[in-house]
A = this chain, B = another copy of it.
């Protein structure tokens, strides 16, 4: 037995969403059909508009339907400091957690030559120009502590050095409130090797 063609298509399409398998797709489809037609129609409309109109900020590559994102537009932000992140949600997370008031650069991934992701795919050619021009005096590397994230950080650190900018990497170690015994050994080794003078 199969549902009607349109419902089968809807269930298949919902699986484009990350983390949605066949069962959740079915549950979502029937929830919208039976209980929330209005929400479903609104989602269809805004999703269509977003897929068509959202591009990226010309300066930092944050997705936006405007030419420049609100951070790069803002006069209250220090244009000489740049924090390098992998994904748009990292911008949000850092901005909520810190009082950082510089700008960001969103890679949209990490260097991974085997997957065909080189500097150009991450917009690093554009970043290189900006670093060379000398307008940036400080770069904060906030890529993830994975092999590829580290490689990406090293690559950008090199560019920053050539452009004369100072460079720092966010700290990695035992999470606040974490019990040592529950932390994986890689993190623990890193935290131990990266210990700082206690004052």
A33 on the B face (CB < 8 A): yes
One of B33, B39, B49 near A16 (C-beta < 8 A): B39
Instruction: Specify which chain B residues have a CB less than 8 angstroms from the CB of A28 in the assembled complex.
Output: 17-19
Q: How many copies does the complex hold?
A: 2
By beta carbon, the residue of chain B nearest A41 is: B51
A4 on the B face (CB < 8 A): yes
Residues of chain A at interface, number, CB under 8 A:
59
Q: A1-B70, A4-B54, A40-B50 are in contact. Are A32 and B17 (CB under 8 A)?
A: yes
Instruction: Specify which chain B residues have a CB less than 8 angstroms from the CB of A42 in the assembled complex.
Output: 13, 16
Q: Check B70–A4 contact: CB distance below 8 A.
A: yes
Q: Check A92–B51 contact: CB distance below 8 A.
A: no
Q: Check A31–B4 contact: CB distance below 8 A.
A: no
Cα distance A69–B4 in the bound complex, in angstroms: 7
Query: Which chain A residues numbered 34 to 60 have a C-beta less than 8 Å away from chain B?
Result: 34, 36-37, 39-54
Q: Check B51–A47 contact: CB distance below 8 A.
A: no
- A-B contact list, 15 entries, CB within 8 Å: A1-B70, A1-B91, A4-B54, A4-B70, A6-B65, A7-B64, A7-B65, A16-B32, A19-B28, A26-B92, A27-B89, A30-B63, A30-B87, A34-B88, A45-B48
